[in-house]
Amino acid sequence: MLWRDADGDVEVALVHRPRYDDWSLPKGKLDRGETIPQCAVREIAEETGYACVLGRHLRQVSYDVRGVPKTVDYYAAEAVSGSFEVNDEVDELRWLPVAEAPALLSYAPDRAVLAEFTRLPADLSLVLLVRHAKAGKRSEWQDDDDLRPLSDAGWKQAEALRAVLPLWAPTRVHTAPRVRCADTVRGVAEDLAVGVEEEPRLSEEGYWPDPEAGLVRLLEVAAQEGRAVVCSQGGVIPSVVQTLAELGGLRLPEIPCKKGSAWVLAFTRPFGSWSTSDAPSRWPTLVSAHYLATALPKP
């Protein structure tokens, strides 16, 4: 769902499709070789003419079209450049304040997506919490486990993450001090022309002696300017996500953590300057958590 800041007010983009004579949110079909987030960015560009940056996942909508089941995943997507031109699918685009948009939308599911978007502030802090890619079996590695490298399958996962994570426009890259963690996100850092900051408290050995300190460190990362990629391990991520969810009042029925996967974590922004000496009520609060099981496209 495409939105923009209009002098401090939030506006959303609605499109008119002459084929159906309806007003809807931009959406489209998954192309072969692309992921759902890549599809979202491409379809928005094709239908509206705007380049966008993804934010939190809003909801998944399922419906039938002439007896054929369809499923659409909606993300908040901020317009960063571009302009609308009439195209094969859309003949008109309207930017409307969020309060006026429901009246124009033709379908109840689109209005439900809009309602979810308006439930939270549009501009949230974002952390992309990544589990390192595949690195073979620990039992078969004879050297220091910190040095265990990515496998061939792991490098493919890392390249896929390199293509997908930038859709959220991160500006910082952090990693647990393990070769397999650093190599998983090194390509992202290279493309951003930034260094990779090591996070000892977000490794398994650094986290479990003091989980609260590890959690606070992640909140510090979330509170900094710009969005962040953080690569950690399977022994840390479920605990971190579960604790953050409980503190934020989110109900997550399960917390999967496959190698090469990512959690898109959205936080409220702290008011003014912030430090861990502030009362916990002023800390960033997790308000949305969406699991990206893989950055690899469907075969």
Quickly list DSSP for 232-256: E-TTTHHHHHHHHHHHHT---S---
Cα distance between residue 275 and residue 52, in whole Å: 31
Residue 8: partners with Cβ closer than 8 Å, 6 or more residues away: none
158 and 288 share one domain: yes
179 and 279 share one domain: yes
Cα distance between residue 249 and residue 118, in whole Å: 18
Q: What letter would DSSP give residue 160?
A: H
- Residue (of 244, 235, 247) closest to 264 by Cα position: 244
Q: Is residue 95 part of a domain?
A: yes
Q: Is residue 298 part of a domain?
A: no
Q: Is residue 242 part of a domain?
A: yes
Strands (E), 83-168: 92-97, 125-131
Average of per-residue pLDDT values in the chain? 94
Task: Give the pLDDT of residue 145.
Answer: 78
The pair of structure tokens assigned to 205 is: 């050995």
- Residue (of 264, 4, 177) closest to 13 by Cα position: 4
Which residues sit opposite 264 in a β-bridge?
Answer: 128, 290
Task: Give the pLDDT of residue 67.
Answer: 80
> What pLDDT digit, counting tens, does each position of 35-92 carry?
999 999 999 999 999 999 999 999 999 887 778 888 999 999 999 999 999 999 999 9
Instruction: Identify the domain containing residue 105 by its residue range.
Output: 2-118
167 and 278 share one domain: yes
135 and 98 share one domain: no
Task: Give the pLDDT of residue 274.
Answer: 65
Cα distance between residue 148 and residue 204, in whole Å: 15
Cα distance between residue 97 and residue 254, in whole Å: 36
> What pLDDT digit, counting tens, does each position of 146-159 carry?
899 999 999 999 99
Q: Is residue 297 part of a domain?
A: no
Q: What's at 203, amino acid-wise?
A: S
What is the mean pLDDT of the segment spanning 245-261? 96
Residue 237, pLDDT > 90, answer: yes
Residue 193, pLDDT > 70, answer: yes
134 and 250 share one domain: yes
40 and 91 share one domain: yes
> What pLDDT digit, counting tens, does each position of 269-285 carry?
766 666 666 766 678 99
pTM of the model: 0.95
- Residue (of 214, 122, 121, 136) closest to 176 by Cα position: 214
Strands (E), 18-117: 22-24, 50-65, 68-82, 92-97
> In a 3-state reduction of DSSP, which class is residue 22?
strand
The pair of structure tokens assigned to 209 is: 């002696």
Number of domains comprising the chain: 2
Domain end marker among 118, 148, 171: 118
99 and 183 share one domain: no
Domain end marker among 51, 84, 118: 118
The gap from C-alpha 76 to its chain's centroid, in whole angstroms, comes to 10
The pair of structure tokens assigned to 282 is: 């002023």
**Angle, nearest 10°, between helix axes 152-164 and 179-192?**
30
